[in-house]
């Protein structure tokens, strides 16, 4: 009698597990065999390395984006890509790396790529958008800000008032360039300015190439000015004024997909802690910022970088 009862319990348990698996499969594999559109979110500060979520900011890491796009390149179900950009910019190298990763995706797959600007797609955000075949923006989107910035602080007088005298040993006269313990020399300023000008020219060149516009036309507006989406369209930096929904409808027509075609969001795997808390770590600032010369960098929602207390300068597109 007891054995029969146990067999019954095991049987019911097995049925329950089977039904649960079928329900889970119905929700998670309903799009198997179908083709659709991938959406790549590029949000928050742009940094090299891995994407992160912290208590006060979102970081899109160029290494994470590159890996997601490599996987998407091998996925035959993805017939088009939409890059949704809501970012004030960030690290120059990260912006360039994401730009190049999207260009490689287009070249290797031949699939259309549309960029959609959210509330902000300025500086590095615009850089990334220009890798797409077509750019959508809202009329009030803040974009533009084609420029490169280096910021550092000099606390030499403050330390002197406190009776603190830093000592620096170096091999190479420019090794401590941008040090917060002394003023820069004229030679150092010239060296840094040449470096920033070089990065600026790369930025201008890639925007011109991506938008199929003359370099001189881009250079004329590459003075760091902010633009609305409507102003950017008038200058040729944006193709259409519209939302993400309108961009999705457009790309569906381009690749002949019905309205029922699935949308997949390309995103990194998040830990259970991150899913529960909405953040990867309790620390307020991302690890990527703390491992650079920049100690604290907070980007405003208007595409304007606000840098506070730098150990040394850092070239940024924001």
CATH number of the domain where residue 309 is located: 3.90.226.10
Does a structural domain hold residue 151?
A: yes
Say how far residue 217 (Cα) sits from the centre of its chain. 26
- In which element (H, E) is residue 276 found? helix 272-277
Does a structural domain hold residue 16?
A: no
Domain that holds residue 191: 34-317
Residues labelled catalytic: 123, 175
**Can you count the helices (H) and strands (E) in the chain?**
11, 13
Q: What is the pLDDT along the chain (318 residues), one digit of tens a residue?
A: 555 555 555 555 555 555 555 554 444 444 445 889 999 999 998 988 888 877 677 889 999 999 999 999 999 999 999 999 999 988 888 999 999 999 999 999 999 999 999 999 999 999 999 999 999 999 999 999 999 888 777 888 888 889 999 888 888 898 888 788 888 899 999 998 898 899 999 999 999 999 999 999 999 999 999 999 999 999 999 999 999 999 999 999 999 999 999 999 998 776 555 555 554 454 555 565 555 543 333 333 333 333 333 333 445 665
Alpha helices in 55-91 (DSSP H): 62-73
User: Does the model's pTM come out above 0.85?
Assistant: no
Does a structural domain hold residue 199?
A: yes
The SS3 assignment for 88 reads strand
Contact 300, 88 (CB under 8 A): yes
The single-letter DSSP state of residue 214 is -
Does a structural domain hold residue 217?
A: yes
The residues with which 41 forms a beta bridge, in sequence order, are 84
Does a structural domain hold residue 111?
A: yes
Does a structural domain hold residue 11?
A: no
| Distance of alpha carbon 177 from alpha carbon 192, whole angstroms | 9
Say how far residue 183 (Cα) sits from the centre of its chain. 33
| Distance of alpha carbon 117 from alpha carbon 241, whole angstroms | 10
To 5 degrees, how large is the angle CA 224–CA 49–CA 152?
Answer: 45
Does a structural domain hold residue 114?
A: yes
Number of structural domains in the chain: 1
Task: Record the tokens describing residue 222, joined without a space.
Answer: 């590459």
CB atoms within 10 A of CB 168: 9
The single-letter DSSP state of residue 82 is E
> Which residue is listed with tokens 């930096």?
237
Q: CB within 8 A of 301, min separation 6: which ones?
A: 88, 119, 120
| Distance of alpha carbon 284 from alpha carbon 101, whole angstroms | 29
Exposed e or buried b per residue across 279-316, where buried means at least 16 C-beta atoms within 10 angstroms of its C-beta: bbeeeebbbbbeebebbebebeeebbbebeebebbbbb
Does a structural domain hold residue 23?
A: no
């Amino acid at each position: 009698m007891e054995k029969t009862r146990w067999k019954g319990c095991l049987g019911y348990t097995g049925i329950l597990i089977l039904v649960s698996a079928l329900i889970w499969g119905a929700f998670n594999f309903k799009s198997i065999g179908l083709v659709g559109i991938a959406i790549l979110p590029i949000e928050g500060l742009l940094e090299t390395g891995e994407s992160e979520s912290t208590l006060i900011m979102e970081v899109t890491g160029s290494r994470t984006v590159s890996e997601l796009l490599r996987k998407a390149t091998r996925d035959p179900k993805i017939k088009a890509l939409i890059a949704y950009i809501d970012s004030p910019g960030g690290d120059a190298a990260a912006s360039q790396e994401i730009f190049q990763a999207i260009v490689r995706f287009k070249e290797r797959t031949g699939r259309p790529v549309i960029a959609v600007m959210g509330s902000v797609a300025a500086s590095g955000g615009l850089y990334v958008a220009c890798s797409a075949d077509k750019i959508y923006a809202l009329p009030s989107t803040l974009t533009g800000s084609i420029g490169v910035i280096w910021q550092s602080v000099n606390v030499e007088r403050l330390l002197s008032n406190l009776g603190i005298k830093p000592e620096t040993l170096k091999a190479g006269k420019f090794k401590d360039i941008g040090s917060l313990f002394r003023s820069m020399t004229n030679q150092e300023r010239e060296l840094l300015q040449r470096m920033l000008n070089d990065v600026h020219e790369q930025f201008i060149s890639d925007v011109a190439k991506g938008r199929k516009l003359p370099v001189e036309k881009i250079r004329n507006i590459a003075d760091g000015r902010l633009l609305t989406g409507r102003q950017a369209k008038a200058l040729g930096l944006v193709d259409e004024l519209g939302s993400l929904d309108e961009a999705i409808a457009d790309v569906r027509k381009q690749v002949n997909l019905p309205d029922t075609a699935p949308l997949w969001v390309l995103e990194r795997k998040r830990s259970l802690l991150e899913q529960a808390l909405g953040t990867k770590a309790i620390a307020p600032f991302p690890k990527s910022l703390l491992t650079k010369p920049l100690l604290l960098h907070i980007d405003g929602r208007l595409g304007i970088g606000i840098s506070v207390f730098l150990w040394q300068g850092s070239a940024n597109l924001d």
